[in-house]
Amino acid sequence: MALRFEVLARFNRARAARMTLPHFVCETPLFMPVGTQGTIKGLTTSQLEEIGCQIILGNTYHLALRPTSELIDELGGLHKFMNWSRALLTDSGGFQMVSLLHLADITENGVTFQSPVDGNPMLLTPEESIQIQNRIGADIIMALDDVVKTTTTGPRIEEAMYRTIRWIDRCIAAHQRPGEQNLFAIVQGGLDPVLRDICVKALTERNLPGYAIGGLAGGEDKDSFWRVVAQCTAALPEDKPRYVMGVGYPLDIVVCSALGADMYDCVYPTRTARFGTALVPEGVLKLKHKAMAEDIRPIDPTCACMVCRTYSRAYIHALVTKDAMGSQLLSYHNLYYMLQLSRDLHNSIIQGRFPEFVCDFLKKMFPKGDVPKWVCNAMEVAGIDIAACLPPSSSRGCGA
């Protein structure tokens, strides 16, 4: 095992921890930007270091297609290939079962994809996924799981969950670098609490370095989402990191952190930037709107990032529809926002003021006091009274 996880402070379920990986010492809760093919679109690795990025996520499926894991290995591994000295995590390729389902055929042996590059079939087995990730060389590698959308119903959910358990043993057997790379298992089971319990129990018996909660953020209702997270975090080991896959909305990250999760990833901050949208404490700011054309204020007056210190809304508005620089500047700001949110979560737990941080966060996002009911329900389980946060003049109240 090449990972040390130390919980430094708690508030009920929420925890701030130090996670020591081969290439970097990380602080949790943490958000991981997605660099599908070894790059965050529009940003350099030095810029990512500048804004405090701790771990970048790479995509096994896409890296295996181009430039190929063999070439990455030959050139010294992904860290050297992309000039990144901090931590890396590679997913297993399993998510492509959902996102590229029209190109995939799933059997007990593995997943056969039709290559989007040349149209040839490509078989990804648990063994092959691990071998590719061993060549790529990330600090954290993910087991190949059988992924289905959470909105799927019927026997397919149970089939995928049991197959995920069978595949973890094949992944463990294939893993050739356990002293340098940490294999995480992924809890599946859809929205069924019985299946989730079975999967958690089976996977934790393998005593792996960390565990992910998979199969969420795929269109399920928010009440089901938080309940699955709460169930899994309560059952997973206290001394291992817990990673909720595919979660990138700031509100979701605050809720999941309150419930005891530690790690998150999503394309949302950079993808929404490419559509001209900035993340701000109040929610989002759409820079394409005509109202931005003459607005000389920064994106967020409270933000200390280079973009907010240097450029106006009007300038970025002029760029977003015409110049790649617009999406690059917004990507920089949005990732800074997410990484600052991670730091604020960590520090508020360390300093014993996590409930106050959550209340301040929600007051900014919901100034009228109309916090969604699912958030209130989740925070109640996390031991935070949201009603006490709401302004006395709130006309709608929690759960409206």
Summarize the annotated binding site for Zn(2+) as residue ranges. 303, 305, 308, 333
C-alpha distances out from residue 155 to 158, 159, 266, Å: 5, 6, 28
Active site residues: 91, 265
- Which residue bears the tokens 């899994």? 232
Q: Output phi, psi for 105, to 5 deg.
A: -130, 120
Question: Please, where are the H alpha helices in the chain?
Answer: 45-50, 60-65, 69-74, 78-82, 96-99, 126-136, 155-174, 193-204, 222-235, 250-258, 268-274, 306-310, 313-320, 324-350, 354-365, 373-381
Q: Is 136 exposed, middle or buried (0-12, 13-18, 19+ CB in 10 A)?
A: buried
**Residue in the structure block whose two tokens are 């297993």:** 92
Q: Which residue has the tokens 């938080």?
A: 226
- Record the tokens describing residue 342, joined without a space: 């991670």
Instruction: Tell me the β-bridge partners of 266.
Output: 33
* Phi (first) and psi of residue 246, to 5 degrees: 80, 10
For the chain, state the CA radius of gyration: 21
Number of Cβ within a 10 Å radius of residue 294: 10
The Cα 135–Cα 36 span in angstroms is 16
Which positions make up the binding site?
A: 91-95, 145, 188, 215, 303, 305, 308, 333
Largest CA distance in the chain: 64
- Please name the amino acid found at residue 37: Q
Using the structure block, give the residue that is written with the tokens 């909105």. Answer: 151
CA distance 168 to 214: 14
